[in-house]
Each structure stands twice: as structure tokens, then as C-alpha cells.
């Protein structure tokens, strides 16, 4: 059977990884290429890179980094951040990305999901969503969680999958940064509505949070950033621990 | 030199980088003479069978591949492996290269647990069914990275490795003479995948 996946996420700005980086034994503590190598050697099942730069220079730096990572690291790479058009897909795929994650770009133009799925295949299109509880509803937010779209997030996910999204990253704004565990209620609601892999994001603080996450059979992967970057949770140890808890892990 | 067949399908960056990282010379090419001159050939591929086969047909390389496959190691990866078979039933009925007996069918139809997600996407462990030089550096049960919705069937004689998904033993690796195929992506399967590529490059 398929192993559950552990995915570190690297937010890259102006060529550097941001968000609590505290690596020991690395020459450059926030160099994305070195961090990618470190995660590859620790057993990460996939890497996610988000480009959070706005400038053209930053974007060029990002694609350079991506190309360097893709020529050294041979596990799946997902890239997101500022993806709005098929040209954006093309640009990052040519640099070695395997999957492309769309968020606000798909909210602005939902047609991008279907167009990209048709051109590159469903497996290439990841729909990433930021979701928060508002008036008893799971509400979809845009622009990095700053803008309430008024849309029901679960309906949006169903639409996205119907259009060709092959995977969904659900980031709960309610649990993000709180480090008290993933938003299991929100994740279960999503998993009951879609039949593509669901990647949980937001809320992981310790190893036990992942063990609890994977008792929910509809969830395929756990994604986190700072707890891995700060070494609060070590991926190698996490995977060994999860295996002792009966979770299928690639070790 | 290892020739990676370029027929306008898929992303060949990782594949050529992984061979280069292993220290082998690789060239992405759509030139028939270069395929004839190469020591080994890799046929990659992603997407739908019919579309990919039409593109491969359009290059005129099919007879070259069929001929060279009798003389030197050829490795099909993912859709490239599916193209090796006699036919596929993905959106219609399409003839393949006929280098490995068997056919390519919808995985969904054979899964009894309808809750299982298709595509079969992610890391699954590969069980060695028959010893093969491709497994020279590979340990039984190591994990490899799959992304596919169709799979090869009726090919027991050439199946050398499988991965279990629900009730289905997914054909993971096939071998028929000089022809090998992997349903998963060795170039995305971390160290275990690189070791398979190394074994292929040393065959």
C-alpha cells in the first residue's frame, strides 16, 4: 500500500528560505539548495517550494534555485507561489518541478485548473487552499489568507477536482501557527468530499500530531515548515516513530 | 551514451540530471541515428497513451526502437513502459510497440475497494518477483514513486517486480529480453531509484 508522506515546505524569498531556520551543521543556514539536500537525506518524501517574492529579480533567483535543486535532488518537487497562467506552469516545470500548486491564481481564474490539467495531466495540478471558519462555514480565503472570498471551501475543492486538480493541500488558517495539531475536523470534511490525495497543512507542533493525523484514513500527507526548519521535529525520527505507531512510512 | 527519446512528451530534466548525477553521459534526442549509435535507450513518457503514441508515431522512430530493442538495453519509464506493450485501453484502443506481451488497462476497474484513490500516486514498496540484473543494487521492499491510473496486465511471464495496491498487484517492473520497463519513476524515487538507473546504465 501507499506510504503516508511527510513533506517539508520551503518559503523562498529573494533566494533565501524564510521562516525560522535554525540548522546546525550547514554552511548557510537559509540556503534552499542545502536545505533541500538536508531534507532529501533525512527521508522527506517530497519537497514543496513556495516563491514568495514579488519582484522579477526574485523570480529569476527562484527559478535558478529550483533548477539547482532539481538537478541534485531526486524526489518529487512541488512548486507554488504566484502561479496564474499556463506560462507560469511552463516556467517552473522546465526547471524540474513535478507538480505545480495553484491558490489565489485559481480563485482569480478557475479556468487555469482545467487548462493545466489538460496540458500537463491531473497529477501535475495541486490545488492549494487557505481555509478558515466563518459563520459556521469553512470559508475559502485568497491572497495568503488575507482576503475572504465568501466561497465555501469544500464546494471549491469539489469544483477544483472536477476540473482536474490531482491533489489538494488544505491549510487551516485556524490552526496554522498554533502548533496544537492539525485541523482534523476540517480535513475530514474535505476528505469525505473528494477522492484525490489530501495533504494536511497548518498546526503541526510535535510528532504525536502526525500520528493522530494518520489515524484519519482519508489523509495522505502531512506538510509543515518551521517545525522542520527549526529541528523541533526531525523528519528521520518522526518517520521511525510513525512506523512504530503502525503508520506505513518509506524509511 | 544513453539516449533519452525526445518525442515531445513529458519533462526530461530530472531523468537526464539523475543520469548525469550518477556519472553517465546521457543525451535527450529525437534523432534516429543517435538512437542507433547509443549504447542504451530510455523511453520516457507522461500523459495519455493515445496522445503519446501518436506523437511517437509522428517522429518516425517506432521502427528504430523496435529494431534497436533487439540489440541493446531499452528502458521504458511510466507511460514509456506502457508503450512497450501490445495495446492499451486508455480512452479507446491503441496499439503499442509490441515489445512486451500484455496490455494496459484501467486500474480502477480492477480495484475491489472503490475508496482507493486513482491515480495510484505516491510511494509504494516494490516486491521483487524474479531476480533480475536491474535489481543488482536494489533491496526487496524498497519504496518507489508511482503516478498512474492505468497498469500493465496479462504479462506474468515478463513481470519481475510488483507493488500491492488494494487487491491489485500492480506491475512495477517488466523485463523481456533486452527490454525493461518501470511503471514508477526511478528518477523521482530517491536513492533507491538512482540505484535502479545505475544498474540499467551498467547492464
- Residue pLDDT, tens place only, B67-119: 999 999 999 999 999 999 999 999 899 999 999 999 999 999 999 998 899 88
Short-list B60, B99, B57, CA closest to B81: B99
Q: Do B190 and A75 touch (CB under 8 A)?
A: yes
* Alpha carbon distances (Å) from B163 to B36, B148, B179, B182, B188: 33, 13, 20, 11, 16
- Nearest chain A alpha carbon to B193: A74
CA dihedral B32, B34, B39, B40 (to 10 degrees): -50
Question: What is the rounded distance in angstroms from the CA atom of residue A195 to the CA atom of residue B154?
Answer: 28
Tell me how many degrees the CA angle A165-A167-A168 measures, rounded to the nearest 5: 100
Question: Domain limits of chain B?
Answer: 2-91+102-201
Residue with cell 496479462: B154
Any domain includes A250: no
| DSSP conformation class of A4 | P
Q: CA-to-CA distance for A132 and B26, rounded, in angstroms? A: 49
* Domain, as residue range, for A50: 5-244
Active site residues of A: 11, 130
**Separation of alpha carbons A124 and B118, rounded Å:** 14
A140 assigned to some structural domain: yes
The CATH number that domain B2-91+102-201 falls under is 3.40.50.880
- Asked, for residue A179, whether it belongs to a domain, the answer is yes
Residues 39-78 in B contacting A (C-alpha not used; CB under 8 Å): 46-48
- Note whether B193 contacts A74, CB cutoff 8 Å: yes
Percent of chain A with pLDDT over 70: 95
Its pTM stands at 0.93
Domain count, chain A: 1
- Which residues in chain B belong to E strands, given as ranges? 2-5, 26-29, 40-43, 74-77, 85-88, 94-95, 100-106, 120-125, 127-128, 143-148, 150-153, 159-165, 168-176, 179-182
Q: In this predicted model, what pLDDT tens digit does every residue of A162-181 receive, in sequence order?
A: 999 999 999 999 999 889 99
Model confidence at A21, pLDDT cuts 50, 70, 90, reads: very low
CA distance B42 to B19: 11
A109 in any annotated domain: yes
Q: How far is A146 from chain B (nearest CA, A)?
A: 32
* ipTM confidence score: 0.91
Domain CATH number, residue A220: 3.20.20.70
Between B97-101, B111-115, B139-143, B178-182, the lowest mean confidence (pLDDT) is in B111-115
pLDDT value at B198 more than 50? yes
Is B187 a residue of the active site? yes
- Is B62 within 8 Å of B25 (Cβ atoms)? no
Instruction: Read off φ and ψ for residue A55, nearest 5 degrees.
Output: -80, 160
How far apart CA B165 and CA B156 sit, in angstroms, is 17
Residue of A nearest to B164 (CA): A1
Task: Catalytic residue, from B86, B148, B185, B202: name it.
Answer: B185
Amino acid at each position: 500500500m501507499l506510504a503516508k508522506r511527510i513533506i517539508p515546505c520551503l518559503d523562498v524569498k529573494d533566494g533565501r528560505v524564510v521562516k525560522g531556520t535554525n540548522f546546525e551543521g550547514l554552511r548557510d543556514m537559509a540556503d534552499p539548495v542545502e536545505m533541500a539536500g538536508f531534507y532529501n537525506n533525512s527521508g522527506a518524501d517530497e519537497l514543496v517550494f513556495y516563491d514568495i517574492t514579488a519582484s522579477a529579480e526574485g523570480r529569476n533567483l527562484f527559478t535558478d534555485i529550483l533548477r539547482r535543486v532539481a538537478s541534485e535532488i531526486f524526489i518529487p518537487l512541488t512548486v507554488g507561489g504566484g502561479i496564474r497562467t499556463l506560462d507560469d506552469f511552463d516556467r517552473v516545470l522546465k526547471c524540474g518541478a513535478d507538480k505545480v500548486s495553484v491558490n489565489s491564481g485559481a480563485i482569480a481564474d478557475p479556468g487555469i485548473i482545467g487548462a493545466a490539467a489538460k496540458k500537463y495531466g491531473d497529477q501535475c495540478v495541486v490545488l492549494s487552499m487557505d481555509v478558515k471558519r466563518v459563520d459556521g462555514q469553512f470559508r475559502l480565503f485568497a491572497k495568503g489568507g488575507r482576503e475572504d472570498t465568501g466561497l465555501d471551501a469544500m464546494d471549491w475543492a469539489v469544483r477544483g477536482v472536477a476540473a482536474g486538480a490531482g491533489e489538494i493541500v488544505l491549510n487551516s488558517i485556524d490552526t496554522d501557527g498554533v502548533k496544537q495539531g492539525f485541523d482534523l475536523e476540517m480535513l475530514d470534511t474535505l476528505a469525505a468530499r473528494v477522492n484525490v490525495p489530501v495533504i494536511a497543512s497548518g498546526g503541526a507542533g510535535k510528532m504525536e500530531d502526525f500520528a493522530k493525523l494518520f489515524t484519519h484514513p482519508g489523509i495522505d500527507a502531512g506538510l509543515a515548515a518551521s517545525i522542520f526548519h527549526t529541528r523541533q521535529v526531525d523528519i528521520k525520527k518522526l518517520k521511525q516513530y510513525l512506523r512504530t505507531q503502525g503508520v506505513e512510512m518509506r524509511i | 551514451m544513453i539516449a533519452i527519446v525526445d518525442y515531445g512528451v513529458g519533462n526530461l530534466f530530472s531523468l537526464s540530471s539523475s543520469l548525469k548525477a550518477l556519472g553517465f553521459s546521457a543525451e535527450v534526442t529525437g534523432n534516429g541515428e543517435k538512437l542507433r549509435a547509443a549504447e542504451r535507450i530510455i523511453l520516457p513518457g507522461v500523459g495519455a497513451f493515445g496522445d503519446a503514441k501518436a506523437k511517437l508515431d509522428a517522429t518516425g522512430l517506432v521502427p528504430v526502437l523496435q529494431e534497436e530493442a533487439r540489440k541493446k538495453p531499452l528502458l521504458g519509464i511510466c507511460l514509456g513502459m506502457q508503450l512497450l506493450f501490445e495495446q492499451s485501453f486508455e480512452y479507446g484502443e491503441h496499439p503499442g510497440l509490441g515489445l512486451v506481451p500484455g496490455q494496459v488497462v484501467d486500474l480502477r476497474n480492477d480495484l475491489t475497494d472503490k475508496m482507493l484513490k486513482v491515480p495510484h500516486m505516491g510511494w509504494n514498496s516494490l516486491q521483487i518477483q524474479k531476480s533480475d540484473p536491474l535489481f543488482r543494487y536494489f533491496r526487496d521492499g524498497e519504496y518507489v514513486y508511482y503516478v498512474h491510473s492505468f497498469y500493465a496486465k496479462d504479462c506474468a511471464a515478463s513481470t519481475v517486480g510488483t507493488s500491492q495496491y488494494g487487491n491489485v498487484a500492480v506491475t512495477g517492473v517488466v523485463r523481456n529480453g533486452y527490454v525493461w520497463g518501470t511503471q514508477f519513476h526511478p528518477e523521482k524515487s530517491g536513492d533507491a531509484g538512482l540505484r535502479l538507473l545505475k544498474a540499467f546504465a551498467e547492464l
